Amino acid sequence: MSEPAGEAKGSRESLEGRAAALDATDELGKLRAQFVLDDTVYLDGNSLGALPRSVPGRVEDVVRRQWGSLRIRSWDESGWWTAPERIGDRIAPLVGAAPGQIVVGDSTSVNVFKAVVGAVRLAGGGGEGREGAGVRDEILVDATTFPTDGYIAASAARMTGRTLRPVAPEEVPDALSGRTAAVLLNHVDYRTGRLHDLPSLTAAIRAAGAVSVWDLCHSAGALPVGLDEHGVDLAVGCTYKYLNGGPGSPAYLYVRRDHQSRFDSPLPGWNSHADPFGMTPDHVPASGALRGRVGTPDILSMLALEAALEVWDDVSIDAVRTKSLALTDFFLECVEAYVLDGAVEPVTPSAHAERGSQVALRCADAGRVMRRLIEQGVIGDFREPNILRFGFTPLYVGFGDAERAARILSRTL
């Protein structure tokens, strides 16, 4: 098969050679062997991370020994009861949080609901909540947010008697006022891969007396977050993307330590009770991040997640970020070299400070193009109406993968 005309702009041999050299010196390259992968180029880890090799054996042990033999004794003897906070402490360093502030359980959507309603209650108004709070009757939400976040923010606004106001993240500082109770933002835009300025936006929200809620679904495990360092109030995230927890693996909720005694969850279940087995008619919330628990933990998927997180032992999130930027830079360079002018348009920012760990390309007939790519062994996805998305998971994606994906994209177009 002949090479596409677009390759005349760059040397395939030189780019393949550079990819091989970069892979040979990649300090994270050895981690690829810890995942179940074939010879496809898997660039959809921003939707579903690859399977870590440690997970199947752990799940079999949970099913056969812990559930099959120990049965109910496993709540104590196998540590089932403490799994939500224990696994939360494993996630904590990946998002820049000290132990004791993250609880794992429920879906991202449920945790967004807990966080937004909890944020409104923390902000208070009329003398309650944050010092100097007035009538805080407005919730700001990222206008470009993942749809579910918007749906839940709207429901939370109706429930709490607040008004919902969608704004672009960069417009948040000017939109803040004494009316603002809570602000829900995405750290990385799921369509474009744009990284929003968490430190400065969080500082602006705090200065306005409002409560920040960050959705970390597309940043946790891909880049440093710095929840504690930057004073984030509440945060949520999924674990099945860059954390490789498996389809539908449980999400997590971060509650900053100095808010925990006042965090009032809208879902006070028996698992968040100070005395869960007391079975009293009144709810007395547990101390600490355990207030974010609701019902019985989903043990099978939770312990699969715990096994998956073992691949992060001794891995620096800063090293992951360095490789992520190098990978996405190299992919964009290969696309520019191989693809005919005008066939695709990058919509992911070129500036490192504004880029997550995915590259989004605007392309005519993107759905059909992605189907053709998948047929040829390049696995990405697309978003309506015309966006090709390629997620780069530094733990198992290499520079050779990036070059091959760009070359096959050029041939396909």
Given a contact cutoff of 8 angstroms between Cβ atoms, the answer to whether 274 and 281 are in contact is no
Tokens of 267: 């879902």
- Please classify residue 13 by burial: count the beta carbons closer than 10 Å to its beta carbon, then call 0-12 exposed, 13-18 middle and 19+ buried: exposed
323 annotated active-site: no
- The one catalytic residue in 241, 256, 355, 404 is 241
Of 35, 42, 113, 146, the active-site residue reads 146
130-134 contacts, C-beta under 8 A, 24 or more apart: 130/209, 130/210, 130/211, 131/209, 132/209, 133/209, 134/178, 134/179
Residue pair 303/83 in contact (Cβ under 8 Å)? The answer is yes
Contact between residue 189 and residue 389 where contact means Cβ atoms under 8 Å apart = no
Closest CA relative to residue 100, chosen from 87, 113, 118, 119: 87
Active site residue 282: no
Q: What are phi and psi of 112, to 5 degrees?
A: -60, -45
Catalytic residue at 254? no
> Which among 44, 89, 106, 215 is annotated as catalytic?
215
Q: In what order do the strands lie in the sheet with 381-383?
A: 344-346, 358-363, 387-391, 381-383
Identify the three-state secondary structure at position 395.
Answer: coil
Establish whether 90 is a catalytic residue: no
Q: Give Cα 312 distance to the centre of its chain.
A: 15
d(CA 141, CA 154): 9
For residue 111, the cross-strand partners are none
Among the listed residues 222, 190, 226, 395, the one whose alpha carbon sits nearest the alpha carbon of residue 321: 222
**Of 389, 404, 407, 411, catalytic:** 389
- Calpha distance 70→53 (Å, rounded): 25
- Which region, left, alpha or beta, applies to residue 38 given φ > 0 means left and ψ of -120 to 50 means alpha? beta
Backbone angles phi, psi at 9, to 5 degrees: -75, -20
Contact 147, 108 (CB under 8 A): no
313 given a catalytic annotation: no
φ, ψ dihedrals at 344, nearest 5°: -140, 160
Catalytic residue among 113, 240, 252, 396: 240
Q: Which residues carry out catalysis?
A: 146, 215, 240-241, 389
